[in-house]
Structures are given as C-alpha cells and as structure tokens.
C-alpha cells in the first residue's frame, strides 16, 4: 500500500528557515497538501496543490515538489509556528493518505 | 461562512456500533464536485482518513476499514453520517469531518472534532 514518510521531528531557531519533507511514491504524480495542527486544535490547511497558499495563511509558508518529494518551507519561523505538520495526497487505490506527521519545535 | 460540526457518543463499548453525525452549513452536498470526509486521530498519533462521500453519492472508504464503515448523506438536513461497526479500544480517537475543496484535493475546512473513547 502507499505510504507518505515524514521526519518525526524538526527543530529550528526563531527567524530561521524550517523545511519538512514528505516522500513516497504517491507524491510523484499527485498534488500534496500540508496541514498545521496546534495542540488541542483541528488541522488547518496551509498549502495545497504542492505550492498554493490558502487565503489567510502567512507568506512565510511555501511548498514545493520534485520527483517523489514534497517540501513545506517556513521562512522566518516564529514561535507560533510550533505545531505538528502533516502532508496529504491522493492515491488511485487508497484515495486519501496522510503522512505520519512532523513535530516542529521552535527553540 | 462554511462550518462543520461533529456529534455523537463520547463513549462506546467494545463490539458496539458507533454512529457519528457531521452537520454542516455554508455549502450544499447537492452541488457538483462537493464532498464531505471523515478523518480520525488516535491520541498522540497521526491523522487517518476514513471515508468520503460526494454530491453524486459516490462513496470512498479506507480499504483496511471498508468492511466496518458506512457513510451516508442527508441533503435535506445538511448532514453526513458515519457508522463504524465492531468498535475496539484501538478505535479510540478524535473523529473529524472535513470538506475537500472542489478540485484542490485538500481538506480546506475542518470541524472541531469529537473524541470517542472505546471501553473494553
């Protein structure tokens, strides 16, 4: 079955750039989306169709995709960006699939 | 304004059937391309997609749970109902309903979630 792999954790200093990678066969031909989930809250869409940002999402959030890898980049990371981040894509046989999530720590 | 809200029992016993309702507003499940999905999250774990239903009654299920899940819509009430049979303590999770954006492949609006605990 398909799978999306993310690093369990990423650490970044305030003001620096954080990158979170999502990899898997599915990513190569299907668009990736990214969600931010703060503790005790519902997920919030921050990137869709690999690179697009919903209205209201700060410009410091960006996405890219190349080959089997999608990347979420947070530039000028702020303390408020500390959260869990999930990638998501679609598969032919399993429809929707999520990555295992990455805990972003802003030190 | 688009909103979704989950409702259902907070506690179910092992082997019982869980029924959850997603009540939404701000959009219609009779509109071309519109769908509503269910996603769950066990405590401290990752998101897991469960099921989707579309405006044309197309239904999709997580393959590993397909035999236990049923999704249905009531367009007159703006509701989507998910039933899961043979509940087990491992099914303890927060259950979310969410709307996939038309043509985007992304869940752009989420409900607040409802925690369901399964007792043995």
pLDDT category, A27, cuts 50, 70, 90? low
Quote the pLDDT of residue A26: 65
Chain A neighbors of B103, CB-CB under 8 A: none
Instruction: Kindly state the percentage of chain A with pLDDT values over 70.
Output: 93
User: What does the pLDDT look like over B72-119, one tens digit per residue?
Assistant: 999 999 999 999 999 999 999 999 999 998 888 899 999 999 999 999
**Span A76-82, mean pLDDT?**
97
Q: Test A48 with B46 for CB contact under 8 angstroms.
A: no
> For residue B89, which phi and psi values (nearest 5 degrees)?
-55, -30
Quote the pLDDT of residue B15: 97
pLDDT at A91 over 80: no
Mean per-residue pLDDT over chain B, rounded: 96
CA distance A32 to B105: 8
pLDDT at A92 over 80: no
**Span A74-95, mean pLDDT?**
91
Interface check A45 vs B, CB under 8 A: yes
In this complex, which of A45, A49, A98 lies closest to B48 when CB atoms are compared?
A98
pLDDT at A2 over 70: no
User: What does the pLDDT look like over B22-33, one tens digit per residue?
Assistant: 999 999 999 999
CA distance A67 to A36: 23
Interface check A49 vs B, CB under 8 A: yes
- A15 sits in the region (left: phi over 0; alpha: psi -120 to 50; else beta) called left
**Span A21-31, mean pLDDT?**
77
* E strands in chain A: 9-12, 18-23, 33-37, 44-47, 61-66, 69-74, 83-91, 95-98, 102-106
pLDDT category, B40, cuts 50, 70, 90? very high
Chain A neighbors of B111, CB-CB under 8 A: 42
Interface check A89 vs B, CB under 8 A: yes
Instruction: Kindly state the percentage of chain B with pLDDT values over 90.
Output: 96
Quote the pLDDT of residue A90: 85
């Amino acid at each position: 079955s398909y799978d999306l792999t993310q690093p369990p954790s990423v650490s970044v200093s305030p003001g620096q750039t954080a990158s979170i990678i999502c990899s898997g066969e599915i990513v190569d031909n299907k668009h990736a989306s990214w969600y931010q989930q703060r503790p005790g809250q519902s997920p919030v869409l921050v990137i869709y169709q690999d690179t697009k940002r919903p209205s209201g999402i700060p410009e410091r959030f960006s996405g890219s995709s190349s080959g089997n890898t999608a990347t979420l980049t947070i530039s000028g990371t702020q303390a408020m960006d500390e959260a869990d981040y999930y990638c998501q894509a679609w598969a032919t046989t399993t429809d929707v699939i999520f990555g295992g999530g990455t805990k972003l720590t802003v030190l | 304004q688009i909103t979704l809200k989950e409702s259902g029992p907070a506690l179910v016993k092992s082997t019982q059937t869980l029924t959850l309702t997603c009540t939404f507003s701000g959009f219609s499940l009779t509109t071309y391309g519109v769908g509503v999905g269910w996603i769950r999250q066990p405590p401290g774990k990752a998101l897991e997609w469960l099921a989707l239903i579309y405006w044309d009654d197309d239904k999709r299920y997580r393959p590993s749970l397909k035999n236990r899940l049923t999704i249905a819509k009531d367009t007159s009430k703006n509701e989507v109902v998910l039933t899961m049979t043979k509940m087990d303590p491992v099914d303890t999770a927060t259950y979310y309903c969410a709307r996939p954006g038309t043509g985007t492949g992304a869940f752009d609006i989420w409900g607040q979630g409802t925690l369901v605990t399964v007792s043995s």
